[in-house]
Chains A and B, each alone.
Chain A
Amino acid sequence: MTSLIAAYLTFGIVISGYLVFLSLRKRGLEKSNRTVTIVILTIPIGASNNLVGR
């Protein structure tokens, strides 16, 4: 009985672990994409500020 429970628990832990891993990777990618967007938006804003400053 112990082996039976251990086997099913192992399956559950591996699958849940993979789901957490997927969520973390997705969150990481969304954050990095957001950073890229911010950088892309900041460049023209910074450039226009410089122009206005002149």
Chain B
Amino acid sequence: MISPESIGNSKSTVRRNRALGAATLLSMVIALWAAFIYAPTEATMGDLQRIFYIHVPAAIVGFIAAIVVAFASVMFLIKRDLKWDRLAVSNAELCVLFVSTAMLMGSIWAKPAWGVWWVWDARGTLEFALWLIFVAYLLLRHYVSNPTKRASVSAVFGILGAIDVPINYMSIEWYRTQHPSHVIGSGSDSKLDPDMRIALAICFVFVILLYTYLLTRRIELEKLKSE
């Protein structure tokens, strides 16, 4: 994980950011090849199922960002250091970004697959709730001018908001929903074709690299704001 103090504006940081950007771009090309060419065509849905390779990693990275918000918020409440608040707010914004892409891609997939753009089942509702929670988190910050007070209020909100993540993750197992249940399991438990699993892993690496790149840029911005 990136530590908030490791990001600055030095030459080495610029070089590292460029290398990370180049690695993200390269992984994007490989991910597109894996999703469109390498992965076999699914028997029922055909090519439409290829949305899966970015939709799922984007949703998982949205969850990861929300968990990092909670972790950074706890760290802020313990250490009272604003660097943890910078990490939290940067992740909150990325959580909104990745949950937005996951919902948009899911909606575009749902229309031809289910005949509707959106279904208010447990997964859809909890995903929308997660999005709303972190939009509210970002809005809340504009109403408190004192940086330390703002960080404390946001930290409590961030920790409570992240409670949505485990419930959201398990919702497709606990409730009967339109959304399919988990298809990724370990070894023989997996319902995915081995080639599809490899394609998904490649796309997941790309989305993680993209998240890391965006996070470094977002924390840089937050440091610039505090100067």
Contact = CB atoms under 8 A, between A and B. Distances in A.
Contacts of B55: 7
A22 B17 CA distance: 14
B153 interface: no
Contact of A4 (B47, B58, B100): B47
User: Majority SS of interface residues in chain B?
Assistant: helix
B225 interface: yes
Given A15-B210, A29-B224, A3 B51 contact: yes
B156 interface: no
Given A29-B224, A33-B227, A18 B50 contact: no
A25 B220 CA distance: 11
B54 A8 contact: yes
Interface string A1-37: 1011011101100110011001001100110010000
A25 B136 CA distance: 20
Contact of B100 (A1, A6, A14, A22): A14
A22 B221 contact: yes
Contact of B48 (A3, A14, A33): A3
Interface residues of A, number: 18
B138 interface: no
Interface stretch (B64-72, B107-115, B142-150, B167-175): B107-115
Contact of B225 (A3, A10, A18, A29): A29
Interface in B55-92: 55, 58
Contacts of B217: 19, 22, 26
A3 B111 contact: yes
A14 B224 contact: no
A3 B210 CA distance: 23
A26 B112 CA distance: 40
Given A29-B221, A29-B224, A30-B224, A15 B101 contact: yes
Contact of B104 (A4, A14, A25): A14
